Amino acid sequence: MGAYRIVEKNKENEIEFPITKAYFLVIILGLIVTPFLLEIISFLIIILFFILFIIVFGIIQLYNFGRIPKIKGKYAGTIEFFEDKIQIKSEIYSLSEISTIRFYVSDYVGKWTILFFSLDPNRSNGSENLIEIVLKTGSTIRVFFQLHHSKQFLENRENLINYHKAGKISFLKLIEVLQIRKYELIQNFKNELNQ
């Protein structure tokens, strides 16, 4: 079908500290506490800092509006889905050695994200899609990969159906990944699978 680029994330980027939220909280606390502890002039200085913060924050938000961030990590090969196997980089995993497959596929390049009090760009780079393969040996393989548009993963429809028929993907996960949401369509799809 298609090969998808694997993204290996940098360890230091997995935990992000929201500095803007902390700064905003300190300013709010300062606004509440300052009148009781300090003179009126100090209170006005805090208000000026707060206004300056709002202006700078707004400028950065406008600058980042519509921007797609760089990948936090590196590209490390491809992942490909076949009827009876999955290839990750040069490793091939046949369905017979796989116990369970779980997909978390909802991200794509350019997807709008809502990030309150964040200085990050508000569009996605499409690298938050995850496949977890649990092997019969008990080990788990986790791979993040990139999608370029919202319907790109649907190219694998037949392979995903084969994985479900082999007992590797649950029905609920299958309809989620195939973006089947309406009750009628789910029932039609269920009947199609049983034929």
pLDDT at 85: 96
**Number of folded domains that form the chain:** 1
Name the token pair of 12.
């230091």
**Cα separation, 89 vs 119, whole angstroms:** 34
Per-residue pLDDT, 8: 92
CA angle 53, 42, 57 (to 5 degrees): 0
- Could you tell me if 189 and 154 are in contact, meaning their C-beta atoms sit under 8 angstroms apart? no
Per-residue model confidence as pLDDT tens digits over 16-37: 445 556 666 677 766 676 666 5
pLDDT greater than 70 at residue 40:
no
Written in H, E and C, the secondary structure of the chain is CCEEEEEEECHHHCCCCCHHHHHHHHHHHHHHHHHHHCCHHHHHHHHHHHHHHHHHHHHHHHHHCCCCCCCCEEEEEEEEECCCEEEECCEEEEHHHEEEEEEECCCCEEEECCCCCCCCCCEEECCCEEEEEEECCCCEEEEEECCCCCCHHHHHHHHHHHHHHCCCCCHHHHHHHCCCCCHHHHHHHHHHHHC
Instruction: Name the band, by pLDDT with cuts 50, 70 and 90, for residue 50.
Output: confident
Residue 13 confidence (pLDDT):
47
Segment 102-144, tens digit of pLDDT: 999 999 999 998 766 677 788 999 999 999 999 999 999 999 9
pLDDT value of residue 72: 85
Q: Report which residue type is found at 156.
A: N
Residue with tokens 């370029």: 148
What CA–CA distance (Å, rounded) separates 102 from 84?
16
pLDDT at residue 46, rounded to an integer: 76
Domain coverage including residue 148: 1-195
State residue 90's pLDDT score: 95
pLDDT tens-place string over residues 68-105: 888 888 999 999 999 999 999 999 999 999 999 999 99
Higher pLDDT, 159 or 38: 159
Which has more pLDDT, 61 or 170? 170
**pLDDT tops 90 at residue 5:** yes
What's the whole-number mean pLDDT along residues 40-61?
79
- Both structure tokens of 154: 């649907």
